[in-house]
Amino acid sequence: MGTTGKGIGPTYTDKVSRNGIRVGDILHGFERKYAVAKARHEQILKSLNYEYDLTEQEKAWMEGVEYLKQFSLVDSEHEINNFLREEKSVLCEGAQGTMLDIDFGSYPFVTSSNTVCAGACTGLGVAPNRIGEVYGIFKAYCTRVGAGPFPTELFDETGDKMCTLGHEFGSVTGRKRRCGWIDLVALKYSVMVNGVTKLIMMKSDVLDTFQTIKLV
């Protein structure tokens, strides 16, 4: 799947199974909820005969919990909608790309969340009709980390050149990204499912030294 190994998948599994710990829980009954969650995960690991030592991870996690306590926790849906009622500008930036969306991406080679524009609504608690402009940001060429379909992938020195000039290495894992020519079919699909109103192309300078630039 090309996982980053950071526990995103298991975290979403906890959420969907209604077993996850939520941010607000760190202020109310945290110790009990944490103990229950920990016991459940340890049971899973033991059933798989997986050897583990949680000492370091648990220490780091608890430090993270204490760090979060310094902030004021708010109900984001009310916060954002209040801004909108006051006619303030709100910019929501998504992560990853359309083709990694759990529902509309190249399943099963996808992430665990909705990466399309609609994810802003479910993530922030904002109604779809409150969305104004939708900026679709895309590279002048295509990249992908990990497994999954990639019709325009290059396996030659051209692909290597894109990778080097574009510094195409995973921000979390440091893995080399797969590179290829821009896929206009995928771009058109992305524009459709996101309701894009403005397109912004980035990294065109990476292709400056190429004698030939191909489109698919």
- Indicate if 15 belongs to the active site: yes
Per the CB < 8 A criterion, the answer to whether 167 and 203 are in contact is: no
What angle (nearest 5°) sits at the alpha carbon of residue 165, between those of residues 210 and 212? 10
Q: Are strands 135-139 and 198-202 parallel, antiparallel or unpaired?
A: parallel
22 marked ligand binding residue: no
Tell me how far apart the alpha carbons of residues 98 and 183 are, in angstroms, rounded to a whole number.
13
43 marked ligand binding residue: no
212 marked ligand binding residue: no
Tell me how far apart the alpha carbons of residues 153 and 160 are, in angstroms, rounded to a whole number.
11
9 marked ligand binding residue: no
Per the CB < 8 A criterion, the answer to whether 82 and 125 are in contact is: no
Per the CB < 8 A criterion, the answer to whether 133 and 139 are in contact is: no
Three-class SS state of 185: helix
172 marked ligand binding residue: yes
122 marked ligand binding residue: no
Of 15, 33, 38, 161, catalytic: 15
204 marked ligand binding residue: yes
Residue 87: CB atoms within 10 Å: 6
174 marked ligand binding residue: yes
175 marked ligand binding residue: yes
205 marked ligand binding residue: yes
Annotated binding-site residues for GTP read: 177, 203-205
- Per the annotation, binding residues for IMP are 4, 18, 96, 111, 175
Residues acting as catalytic residues: 15
**Which amino acids are annotated as binding site for substrate, given as ranges?**
171-177
Q: Which residues participate in the annotated binding site?
A: 4, 18, 96, 111, 171-177, 203-205
